[in-house]
Amino acid sequence: MRVDELEDGADRMPSLVIDAAYYERLRGFARLAMRDAPEVAQCLLEELERADVVPSDQMPSGVVTVGSLVTYQDGDTGAVRTVRVVLPSAIDLTRQCVSVASPLGAGLIGLSVGQAIYWQIAERVRRLRVLSVRRD
């Protein structure tokens, strides 16, 4: 199943909040990713366009942003995993980092605790639910 095949009303488009300090950089990374991963890049650009962009000092604490340590649940498997969402230049697999330009990172960025989204990762649509967000 693809995201565009989901029923209307599904968690396809939950509200998103993006830190203004990262907005233009995220758009730039998405544009650069168009060469290597056009589907992910296009999805990230669409998410950024529909997001509420707020100043850093007004970012709610429970929103996934660059640098956040995010615990989420995969709705298909029930597996709970914790990752740090980072800019592509800060990827460190030994610290469980995921890039905002990856399918998982693009799906999580901007979500709030308790929100879920159906998101295309590889050939499958997965339901990702944010359980907690911590900023260090």
Q: 74-97 pLDDT, tens per residue?
A: 998 999 999 999 998 887 777 789
Domain count, the chain: 1
Mean pLDDT of 42-70: 94
Domain that holds residue 32: 3-135
Rounded-to-10 torsion of CA 5, 44, 40, 76: -50
pTM, to two decimals: 0.86
CB-based burial label for 112 (10 Å; 0-12, 13-18, 19+): middle
Handedness of CA 39, 45, 48, 50 (dihedral sign): negative
Residues, the chain:
136
Question: Domain holding 112: CATH number?
Answer: 3.10.50.30
